[in-house]
Amino acid sequence: MASVGHRSSAMESKVERVREIRGEVRSRVIALLRAWPGTPSKSATMIVATALLMACRGPSLSPTASTTEQPQASPNADGVGAAKGVPSLPLVLVADVDLPGRAVRFDYQDLDVSLGHLVIAHMNDASVIVVNLSDGSVVKVLPGIPTARGVVVAADVGRIFVTSSPNRLVIIDNGTLTELARVNTGNGPDGVGWDPVHRVVGVSDQRDGAISLIVGSGSGARTQVRLGVETGNVVFDTSRALFWITVVAATGPNQLVAVDPVTGKAAKTIALPGCVGAHGLRLHPNHESALIACEDNAKIVRVALDGTQALDIAPSGADPDVLAIDPGLGWLYVAAESGDLEVFDLSKPGLVLIDRGHPGDSSHSVAVDPSSHRVFFPLAAGSKGTPVLRIMRPTGT
């Protein structure tokens, strides 16, 4: 399968037209069932159901109306039907679990694998929600955290770090789930990363276009390193002992910058031509490349961290935001503000699309449990108009 980044405009037009036709067929079939006089016969129901099934075949990650679904055979990236028990797409719905709080925006998530928890920033409800990875049940809500955004779990020191407006890093004990402290950051803190080697917290000071390096597991001195006019997400590279952070430069293309957590110096800068609004960031499991969401021009970029290769660029949903990787399957999930989701195959060079769909409105935040392969989407409003955690899984798992 060729890289979707090089798909022709004609092919994209055909794909969009196919989607429109499928939507029209679905609507007509549903209308037919609703308008059927009395109770349809078994044979009539089977005919309509078959038509609906045929209309719905193709790239779709969207959940069905039910709260659970059984695995089904699905074409894989090469068009071959997936064998039973082999992880494949589309995703199927496991459950919609009610979440507390107002029906407002969520943001980043992170897993505390050591305790079986998922930590979710309920951004516009000024809170952090901790749930069980096993079933999504709520463990605790920590209120009073204004504009909670970035989340990273540092299980090795028993802490959770959450960025909060206007300029705070909230430190939480991951065992007792109680707040330990609030320390200063720069303006508009967004993403946050953890360096377990030097025990340094890296905070993206988005509005300052900088990164704050806070030593002593977040309790020590802070050094701010100016990088551009805006910064996005930040992750720690264990193989190089450096933080990587996305940067919108004052002039020229956006950048991916490596920062030494000890010296506070920029160790490497990689230009990202073709990426506008570099924001979301993840490192490939082999640490040879980075994946970047370009929110202002709806692109996903893959770039070699040695800077020696041309960028691979593929389209995404509108305003791509959070990225998540399932290292066991080699899948990259790209969640967008539009609610669209793309899944790429990281086992192949470039950016090879496996599937795409729409898990839910505004499902811009995604996290994945590498052991169960379950995928988590906190939604501001589920079917009842209240917050839910939508839990999905690949077919066959």
Rounded Cα gap, residues 152 and 158, in angstroms: 11
Q: What is the full per-residue pLDDT of the chain (397 aa) written as tens digits?
A: 333 333 333 434 443 443 444 444 433 433 443 344 444 443 444 444 444 433 343 444 545 333 444 333 333 333 333 444 688 889 999 999 999 999 999 999 999 999 999 999 999 999 999 999 999 999 999 999 999 999 999 999 999 999 999 999 999 999 999 999 999 999 999 999 999 999 999 999 999 999 999 999 999 999 999 999 999 999 999 999 999 999 999 999 999 999 999 999 999 999 999 999 999 999 999 999 999 999 999 999 999 999 888 899 999 999 999 999 999 999 999 999 999 999 999 999 999 999 999 999 989 999 999 999 999 999 999 999 999 999 999 998 8
pTM recorded for the entire structure: 0.81
Fold for domain 89-395?
Answer: Methylamine Dehydrogenase; Chain H (2.130.10)
Q: Is the Cβ–Cβ distance between 95 and 391 less than 8 Å?
A: yes
- Residue 279 region by backbone torsions, left for phi larger than 0, else alpha for psi between -120 and 50, else beta: alpha
Strand order in the sheet with 210-214: 189-195, 200-205, 210-214, 222-226
Rounded Cα gap, residues 153 and 274, in angstroms: 32
**Cα 20-23-25 angle, rounded to 5 deg:** 110
Q: Is the Cβ–Cβ distance between 248 and 228 less than 8 Å?
A: yes
* Structure-token match 């951004």, residue found: 123
* Structure-token match 């920033």, residue found: 121
Residue 359's CB is within 10 A of a number of other CB atoms, namely 22
- Closest CA relative to residue 99, chosen from 146, 134, 141: 141
Q: Determine how β-strand 254-259 pairs with β-strand 266-272.
A: antiparallel
Rounded Cα gap, residues 46 and 28, in angstroms: 16
Residue 19, C-beta contacts closer than 8 angstroms, at least 6 positions apart: none
